[in-house]
Amino acid sequence: MRMWVYVVRRAVLVIPVVIGVMTILFVLISSLPEVERTCSFYHPSGRTSPCTTTIPCPQDPSKLCPNPVYQSAVDALGLNKPIFVQWAIYIGNALSFQWGYVAQGSALGTGETGSGLPSLAGQSVATVLSEFLPYTIELSIVSLLIILVVSIPLGNLSAVYRNRPVDQASRVMSFSGYALPAFLLGSFILAGMTFALGGPAAPSAICGGSSTVFLDFFGSWPQPPCVPLYGTANIGPVGFPNWLTIGYISSPTGFPTVDAAIHGQYYLALDTLLRMVLPAIVIAYTTIAGLLRFVRNSMLEVMNQDFIRTARAKGLPESKVIKKHAGRNSLNVTITVLGLTFAGFITGFPVVEIVFNLWGVGRIYAYSVVGGVKDWDFGVLFGTTLLFTYLVVAANIIVDILYAYLDPRVRLG
Amino acid sequence: MAARWSQYKRTWYFLRRNTLAMVGLGIIVLFAAAFVYGLSYPASSSVPTQYCATNGEWPPTASNPCYDAPNIICTYPQGTVPPTANCYMTPRDNPNFIAPTATLQGGLGQFPMGSLVYPAADLSSSDPLFYNTYTMLVKGTVNSIGISVLIVAAGAGAGLLVGALSGYYGGWVDEVVMRITDIFLSIPAILLVIAVIIVGKSSGLVTFNTTLVLIGVAFVIVWWPFYARIVRSQSLVVREQRYVEAARASGASNGRIIMRHIVPNSVYPVFVQMSLDVGTIPLLLAAITFIGFVLFPYPLIPEWGSVAAAGASVLTPVFTQCGVKGAVCAIPWWQILFPGLAIFFFSLSVNFLADGLRDALDPRLRR
């Protein structure tokens, strides 16, 4: 099969999957109460009075949002039309990035206490997500670099020295990393570093803007995230990543490090990168398990091949055999797995982002499901799910094509 | 049957020689003991010493709801006016949630596992119960382990059936089933679980003491495709075997062939995947309760992750607020550490066992 035929075929196969995902989401959205569908997230100025989990929303939608809004929502979503028309409308909206708006009464809509996040109410979900995605991508790249640097050499070593101490150590590492909850590792690394390097800061120093050891590792932007005492002080959007639209530094690319560098603020760029190191270590440690095992197995497989025996027989030094012959060949498969890991990465790390107070898309997602005082944000919830599905599907295609390019045998199938 | 029994005995023989698997099994036995202990542990162990009312008014009204006054604490003396409505302060909104006894002074402090009181949801009761940290952990052991075993059993059962049918019949049945699993597998699992939970809750399908059931159902919906894939690929091989052909020649019905030949012979890889998943699901469950710590507002579900989330939610403000080195710094570290360690050791031991099981079941991996 020619390469382009394979690419086209692979791309066409994606269509039913994407439509299926949308159908599942449509079923879920359809089972929401009508009030939520119409008033909550359809319209930018959606609901007028927030309802919470303790005060249920009124059954009558017109009590929750002004009647014109409700009527226009019903018309636009086709709620008075047959269900398959609604389904088609939903798919149209999903494909054209009309994922709704941040609801007025939700945590994101009101500005969550203590987070420094200003209200995002009425903003389009797709816009909000696109603003927070770049940070997650940067974090993913840093984590992936750490994983690459550790897993390939360690996996190769543990294959070469099978069942020797190196192999056992890497096995312990992968087992423990797999079983360790990210919140445990994250909290204790953060706390440990803070205490080891001088302790947390006095309250006054934090909002005054001076840097402390704790804040060196904490938060997604050099500006100290100012966490006010609950309900006492309203300090405003300090700590809100200012590469966002409301910020005063223009952001040509949206990527914080790149933007800082473009503006010539190399210290900011460095600082942003440094703050990613600890979370990236946590992410790398908790996800490296599968990859290590994979690199080891593919290396073991290659080491049993005939051409390795030939290389040894013709008298090449062992280091050369491993580096040039075995290592290169086992890399083929490893790259594809790395690609899939990266796809899983971009889908955000809500737990790590919560622990380290980073403003990536995972944290936005986490805030969309904050209930209790606030209301759930269905627009962001389903929008994030759609976004992540697009990302995973796209990454799958890219990895498959890459693999077919590297290993032509795949294309024959 | 006898032949299959001897096969199990042989697997056990190989498993027994694997040290790591035996260590894992030992820890699992300890967890099983904790499970039994948790089952028999008294349902409500402590009386709340503080809970919230609204601006001093009780009960809360629509205009003066509990959750909209997050900073008002009413401290009732122990033994007076027990709460009558389902309305409590969430720890993350409650500045006094860290009890004064819970201090971490100069690095090590007391160990006040009994000092914090949570209103907790329990399957057995339609009213919230009151648990301290220790009770939360003990009951959490029952819930976390119990729910992951049930989820895996249900998911594997459904996946086994669907996968076997799909692999055996092939053709368009197979094509349709595999496309459906494709769809489920391309949505990140955690997100789909959370979406199902939230939709279930907002549709008013669940009350607070059945939230755990809803979580289980959500997980099963997400989890069966993994098993269906495994069983399908296995049964594609099995259906071409001579004994299946012989069964068909001797007039066995499709149902009999599937139940007597396809399913039993495709089940081994499922065992391995099941044992791995029993270790994975508590991790995912903890991540979900952690992300949506307030997703299941109050009462808390006694589960490892929710205890940790309650602890971690006060970590950041405390860290940022508490003074310079040496000052009293109330960090509820035990709330994060102990549930975290419980998840860690459970997941680790299950993985050890699963790894040993895979080696024992796959002749090529035996050394």
CB-based burial label for B329 (10 Å; 0-12, 13-18, 19+): buried
At B330, the pLDDT band (50, 70, 90 cuts) reads low
Yes or no, beta carbons of B295 and A28 under 8 Å apart: no
User: Span B306-324, mean pLDDT?
Assistant: 61
In this structure, chain A runs to a length of: 413
* pLDDT for B264: 83
d(CA B99, CA B160): 50
Structure tokens at B288: 């979900």
Q: What is the pLDDT of residues A361-403, one digit of tens each?
A: 888 888 887 655 556 788 888 999 999 888 888 888 888 888 7
* pLDDT for A117: 61
Cβ-based neighbours of B181, under 8 Å, separated by 6 or more: B225, B228, B229
Q: What is the pLDDT of residues B165-202, one digit of tens each?
A: 998 888 888 888 988 998 888 888 888 888 888 888 77
State which residue of chain A sits closest to B316, comparing Cα positions.
A355
DSSP at B297: -
What's the whole-number average pLDDT of chain B? Answer: 72
At A252, the pLDDT band (50, 70, 90 cuts) reads low
Q: Which residue bears the tokens 């059954």?
A: A59
Q: What is the pLDDT of residues B46-87, one digit of tens each?
A: 444 334 433 333 334 444 333 322 223 333 333 333 333 333
Q: Which of A183, A211, A386, A400 to mutate to test the interface with B (most CBs of B within 10 A)?
A: A183
What's the whole-number average pLDDT of chain A? Answer: 75
pLDDT at A166 over 50: yes
At B28, the pLDDT band (50, 70, 90 cuts) reads very high
* pLDDT for A210: 44
CA separation, residue A173 to residues A154, A342, A347 (Å)? 10, 20, 24
* pLDDT for A378: 83
User: Span A120-129, mean pLDDT?
Assistant: 81
List the 182-221 stretch of B: residues with Cβ below 8 A of A: 182-184, 186-188, 190-192, 194-196, 198-199, 202-204
d(CA A43, CA B318): 38
d(CA B113, CA B133): 5
At B34, the pLDDT band (50, 70, 90 cuts) reads very high
- Indicate the residue type of B237: V
Q: Does B140 touch chain A (CB under 8 A)?
A: no
CA dihedral A72, A75, A76, A79 (to 10 degrees): 130
Q: In this prediction, what percent of chain A has a pLDDT beyond 70?
A: 72
Number of cross-chain residue pairs from A and B with Cβ atoms under 8 Å apart: 216
User: Span A88-95, mean pLDDT?
Assistant: 90
d(CA B2, CA B139): 40
Q: Alpha carbon B178 to chain centroid distance?
A: 27
At A115, the pLDDT band (50, 70, 90 cuts) reads low
List the 287-326 stretch of B: residues with Cβ below 8 A of A: 287, 290-298, 305, 308-309, 312, 315-317, 319-326
Cβ-based neighbours of A53, under 8 Å, separated by 6 or more: A371, A372, A375, B67, B297
CB of A344 within 8 A of CB of A290? no
> A340 φ, ψ to 5°?
-70, -35
> B300 φ, ψ to 5°?
-65, 150
The closest alpha carbon to B136, from B328, B347, B332, belongs to B332
* pLDDT for B363: 63
CA separation, residue B124 to residues A308, B39, B185, B231 (Å)? 63, 11, 34, 36
* pLDDT for A213: 57
Q: Using DSSP, state whether B120 is helix, strand or coil.
A: strand
- Backbone region of residue A226 per phi and psi (left: phi > 0; alpha: psi in -120 to 50; beta: other values): beta
Structure tokens at A231: 């309900």
Q: Which residues of B touch A376 (CB under 8 A)?
A: 198, 202, 295
Of residues A20, A54, A376, nearest to B65 (C-beta): A54
User: Span B125-153, mean pLDDT?
Assistant: 82
pLDDT at A138 over 50: yes
CA separation, residue B344 to residues B144, B335, B348 (Å)? 13, 14, 6
Q: What is the pLDDT of residues A336-365, one digit of tens each?
A: 777 777 777 776 688 888 777 777 888 888
* pLDDT for B126: 66
Q: What is the pLDDT of residues A12-46, one digit of tens each?
A: 888 989 999 999 999 998 888 777 777 767 666 66
* pLDDT for A118: 64
Structure tokens at B126: 């339609």
pLDDT at B26 over 90: yes
pLDDT at B35 over 90: yes
Q: What is the pLDDT of residues B251-301, one digit of tens each?
A: 888 888 888 888 888 887 888 888 888 888 888 888 888 876 544 445 677
Q: Which residues of B touch A390 (CB under 8 A)?
A: none
At B140, the pLDDT band (50, 70, 90 cuts) reads confident
d(CA B114, CA B133): 6
d(CA A271, CA A260): 10
Where do the H-state alpha helices sit in B211-328?
211-238, 242-249, 254-257, 263-291, 304-321
Q: Which residues of A touch B180 (CB under 8 A)?
A: 20
CA dihedral B182, B184, B185, B186 (to 10 degrees): 90
CB-based burial label for A80 (10 Å; 0-12, 13-18, 19+): exposed
> A128 φ, ψ to 5°?
-60, -45
* pLDDT for A103: 77
The closest alpha carbon to A230, from B192, B84, B316, belongs to B316
